[in-house]
Chain A
């Protein structure tokens, strides 16, 4: 009785499909699993979307790389750059590596290119006319390719903090010199007198103090060093005054037309985390079937271990695909993420992400000795991977050594994929490397899992 290969393939397909149909039926009947897969993440995405939309995160990024190009000879530029270097939240970058691996000084155009290519996220350019005779004040160009509103806001805020609080002396001195050369010493003194009077009136401060501070180049007019509540309010007011002197031109180099980048991260992050929970839950179903002795019944039928594993794999993949799609469409409804126009690419990314996540779930049931161990391990790994993989906040918020671990997580690459498609509007062709990483991870993990399944006692 030798059967043709076609017949065997058909039989294999029908066996796997029967098992798959059974898994879908069981899933739809399991209200807890259904709720955890769709309802809970929807609610969380909604809540976190609101939170991130309304309150900006107050903790600053640590060591955000920022390309700095100084084309001006103004002393204030050097002073600001020094202050930025002193600020631990920034990692100031002046050079780039060319194809030969040789460090080259950055130019403004090169910085733009790096940012456009996603190699850098932010840049600050001091143009030749940072200080100009034609204009009163400073001119800076802030380059950015934000993945996310929160990140951009935080970086911009930090930059302002550095410029306004750490470099006022240089700024004031430069301004004074500039003013003197522009309008003459006597006039400058008169101008300062007038301005001090205006400031002291406007902010209800003592004229003498403001005038003395101005001469010394101190910018937090009259506030005492004990930093009282009032003092803080004063320096905030002073900052808004400075705001008008320093002109930062914002130059966004990618993702310019996306409505809600933060929402993309929130939805993608929570979706991928819950996908991991769902697949690990579905994989513990393998243990339940083992305990119920169902594998004995199945394996005594014309069903092999690989049929069972394939059907589980397909089921998890499908569930993941549906879950991600549903959550992103909900994201469109709740936050206006542009999902529908990019649906084909998104589906491809979601499929690859599901395949990788399913591999993770299967790995759990391959290595864990029992369901309790599997779910404990799952919770630990999922939370860790989500945190360091950038599901909760951008990876650039984290210390550098964690950022390097991020890239080992499938969460990171899934997020990269979602953001590339929904935020940077990359085509499928452009995101092929990301997809390759996801599928490659899945392949490696699967090979290991199959090896374990064949040695383990899951099917005994």
Chain B
């Protein structure tokens, strides 16, 4: 449906995206996971035609989104990273403005506004000015505003930043429901739990490069080991380090060591080493690998939120 091929974009001397290629199929819920400054927003801007790539092309159903033509825009909805609403206008007036720009007639627009507001539980705040809304309410409205013209693909750029858990859940449920109904979603985030929970496929992006993409299971398969053991740093643990290093990849971050046990190595071997050096078992936890470990594996550094 959406084809991004070999796209690069620089701001002056800073390369925000380099040689990014990605294919998104209809009905997918693609997560774009990366730390701040990875280039997620830049990629979203390129897809929605706000910026032009320095090289490469982006097409939506074979229509270019980057040539300045408005054609693709009717199929795309962008939820910008910033809350893009007029504070002094009411929820309804905001939606009216943005809906009119897509050429929706008055009646259809009214219906969709009502429908959208009730989908995110804001129907009774319809006539209130946006400046009186909480951050979470604004975020919900921010999403509705991108859906009025019924796009085929929704681009959500970190839509839950600074949101209370209740609003976050409301947003998740709405997006999941829309996705089930056939909407293709591209969802950028720096929260791994969000990507894990929502996305059918995840692309990991850092320093302007897509490092890996696939389902959660596929990404985890890339890891050389299935288990990791977290060991709280202590005098005893430091003594054990040389031996532990032989058993897998060891990283020390923030007063804890994480050992990614090499495939084929018995866990019991690890525990024997720990016991030998008198490492307290209370300081050790066995964890299942997650996206954090994938990121660590791909970049050699921890994913910091």
Contact = CB atoms under 8 A, between A and B. Distances in A.
Contacts of A455: none
B54 to A, nearest CB: 14
A9 B94 CA distance: 24
B145 A300 contact: no
Interface in B67-126: 68, 70-71, 73-74, 76-78, 80-89, 93, 97-98, 100-103
Nearest to B77: A300
A297 interface: yes
Interface stretch (A24-32, A110-118, A120-128): A24-32
Nearest to B70: A302
B22 interface: no
Contacts of B84: 292-294, 296-297
Q: Which of under 10, 10 to 19, 20 to 34, or 35 or more describes the interface residues of A?
A: 20 to 34
Contact of B89 (A11, A26, A300, A460): A26
A51 B96 CA distance: 48
B103 A300 contact: no
A104 interface: no
A22 interface: yes
A169 interface: no
A302 B103 contact: yes
Given A25-B93, A30-B88, A296-B50, A301 B98 contact: yes
Nearest to B145: A297
A14 B109 CA distance: 15
Nearest to B94: A22
B297 interface: no
Contacts, number: 77
Contact of A298 (B83, B101, B103, B149): B101
A104 B8 CA distance: 73
Contacts of A304: 68, 70
Contact of B51 (A1, A294, A460): A460
B160 to A, nearest CB: 16
Contact of B49 (A19, A22, A30, A300): A300
Nearest to B78: A300
B184 interface: no
Nearest to B148: A301
A282 to B, nearest CB: 14
B45 interface: yes
Contacts of A14: 100, 103
Given A14-B103, A18-B100, A25-B89, A299 B50 contact: yes
Interface in A225-267: none
A1 B51 CA distance: 24
A317 B97 CA distance: 21
B48 interface: yes
Contacts of B149: 301
B89 A303 contact: no
B80 A26 contact: no
Nearest to B69: A302
Nearest to A457: B11
Contact of A294 (B45, B71, B76, B86): B86
Interface in A267-325: 291-294, 296-304
Given A297-B80, A302-B103, A18 B97 contact: yes
Interface string A1-35: 10000000001001100110110011001100000
Interface of A: 1, 11, 14-15, 18-19, 21-22, 25-26, 29-30, 291-294, 296-304, 460
Given A292-B83, A296-B84, 12 more contacts: A22-B89, A29-B89, A294-B86, A296-B50, A297-B78, A297-B98, A297-B145, A297-B146, A300-B80, A301-B149, A302-B103, A303-B101
Q: Which 9 A-B pairs have the closest CB atoms?
A: A293-B82, A300-B78, A297-B84, A302-B70, A18-B100, A296-B80, A300-B48, A293-B84, A301-B101
25 contacts: A1-B71, A14-B103, A18-B100, A19-B101, A30-B88, A292-B83, A292-B84, A292-B87, A293-B80, A294-B84, A294-B86, A296-B82, A297-B84, A297-B146, A300-B77, A300-B78, A301-B73, A301-B149, A302-B74, A302-B102, A302-B103, A303-B101, A304-B68, A304-B70, A460-B51
